[in-house]
Chains A and B, each alone.
Chain A
């Protein structure tokens, strides 16, 4: 399978601060998604972004497919941003068979 490495493993921020989470992957991919898992365990899809840049409110993501990495930016962080952020990738054939990284645990303190 594809190896997925996320950094940093843990991050503690003051409310209002900005952060960048990184995802490196070991092979070319056709599918890359970012997820947020809240403290109660619910996983929510944030972005489908195999290449390029997308923005959704305070969150944005950039994937540089040729260099095999993706970045998730969180601006003006809020306590509700706390949780674990996962990057997941896949490639043809089997592009719905996602390989997940081990996640970045973000804690935002008021």
Chain B
């Protein structure tokens, strides 16, 4: 079975703090994704990566950055957390080369982040 794990299920941070959310997958997937989920808005793509050290902006990248130094690990970084970044963050991974090879996305359990 594909396994996608996220470093924390719940996280509480203060405004202005630097926050790291980590995601690890064990299936040698090329693609990895970070989404945020908010009530009434569904899931929105923040960033994705199709290879080590490669990244592409999604729909809402502002206020976030990412890092992919190893194939199995994709980190989401909030440089200076703000209250409007309180959300559920979901990581996903899939097989596939860059771009358009369509594969099923497998999701981690999510991290609920509260920024005070």
Interface residues of chain A, those whose CB is within 8 Å of chain B, are 1, 4, 30-31, 33, 35, 40-45, 48, 50, 86, 88, 90, 92-103
Residue pair A100, B44 in contact (C-beta under 8 Å): yes
B107 within 8 A of partner (CB) = yes
Residue pair A42, B103 in contact (C-beta under 8 Å): no
Number of A-B contacts (CB under 8 A): 70
| Chain B residue nearest to A91 in the complex (CB) | B100
Knowing A93-B100, A95-B102 are in contact, say whether A41-B88 is a contact too (CB < 8 A).
yes
Partner of B90, one of A4, A43, A94: A43
Residues of A contacting B106 in the complex (Cβ-Cβ under 8 angstroms): 45
| Chain A residue nearest to B111 in the complex (CB) | A41
Residue pair A102, B100 in contact (C-beta under 8 Å): no
Q: Is the interface of A mostly helix, strand, loop or mixed?
A: loop
Residues of A contacting B61 in the complex (Cβ-Cβ under 8 angstroms): none
Residues of A contacting B90 in the complex (Cβ-Cβ under 8 angstroms): 41, 43
Residue pair B42, A103 in contact (C-beta under 8 Å): yes
- Segment 94-114 of B: residues with Cβ below 8 Å from A: 94, 96, 99-107, 109-110, 112
Q: Report the separation of the CA atoms of residues A100 and B59 in the bound assembly, to the nearest whole angstrom.
A: 11
Q: Report the separation of the CA atoms of residues A30 and B100 in the bound assembly, to the nearest whole angstrom.
A: 9
B45 within 8 A of partner (CB) = yes
Q: Could you give 30 example pairs across A and B, Cβ below 8 Å?
A: A1-B59, A4-B42, A30-B100, A30-B102, A33-B105, A41-B110, A42-B107, A42-B109, A42-B110, A43-B90, A43-B110, A44-B107, A45-B107, A50-B102, A86-B43, A88-B43, A90-B102, A93-B99, A94-B99, A94-B100, A95-B99, A95-B102, A96-B94, A96-B102, A96-B103, A97-B45, A97-B48, A98-B43, A100-B42, A102-B42
